[in-house]
Amino acid sequence: MYLDTEVSEDRDWRIRVLSASPYSIDELDTIHRDEVRPVCLPNLFDVAGVWEGFNADWLEQAIRNHKRGGENWPASLMARVHRSKAAFKEEPEWMATRQGIIALRAQASEPA
């Protein structure tokens, strides 16, 4: 998500990876909203935004910097503008991913 390209093609992969994580759906919402989104969202407004995928090492460091309050001003501004839960909940790609996680976890917990 937050790439300058079609991201729905990667949705099944995201669903599998996030479903296997130890985090509840509420915790995943919080991580996405408060850690990933503020760092990655500015990419959508960059004229030459990243479109292949974020470097994992860069992303991890950027999230750490953000959590320490060391994010750059565009990320800080975008985080403030889009921090509301209402705006967060309306993100179609995250909502589709979220629903997929819920469905896959429900399917996995059903008796065989």
Which tens digit of pLDDT belongs to each residue from 54-111? Answer: 778 888 888 888 888 755 656 566 556 655 544 555 588 899 999 999 999 999 988 7
**What's the confidence (pLDDT) of residue 107?**
94
In a domain, 19, yes or no: yes
**What's the confidence (pLDDT) of residue 86?**
44
3-class DSSP state for residue 77? helix
Q: How many domains would you assign to the chain? A: 1
Give the pLDDT confidence of 10-27 residue by residue, as tens digits: 899 999 999 999 999 999
What angle do the packed helices 73-81 and 56-67 form, to 10 degrees?
70
Radius of gyration of the chain (CA): 15
**What's the confidence (pLDDT) of residue 81?**
61
Give the C-alpha separation, 60 to 3, whole Å.
Answer: 16
Give the C-alpha separation, 28 to 30, whole Å.
Answer: 5
In a domain, 95, yes or no: yes
In a domain, 70, yes or no: yes
In a domain, 56, yes or no: yes
Residue carrying the six token digits 């503020």 = 38
- Closest to 21 measured CA to CA, from 108, 93, 82: 108
In a domain, 87, yes or no: yes
Residue 42 has pLDDT above 90, yes or no: no
Mean pLDDT within 35-55:
71
In a domain, 3, yes or no: no
Host domain of residue 89: 8-109
**Model pTM?**
0.70
In a domain, 60, yes or no: yes
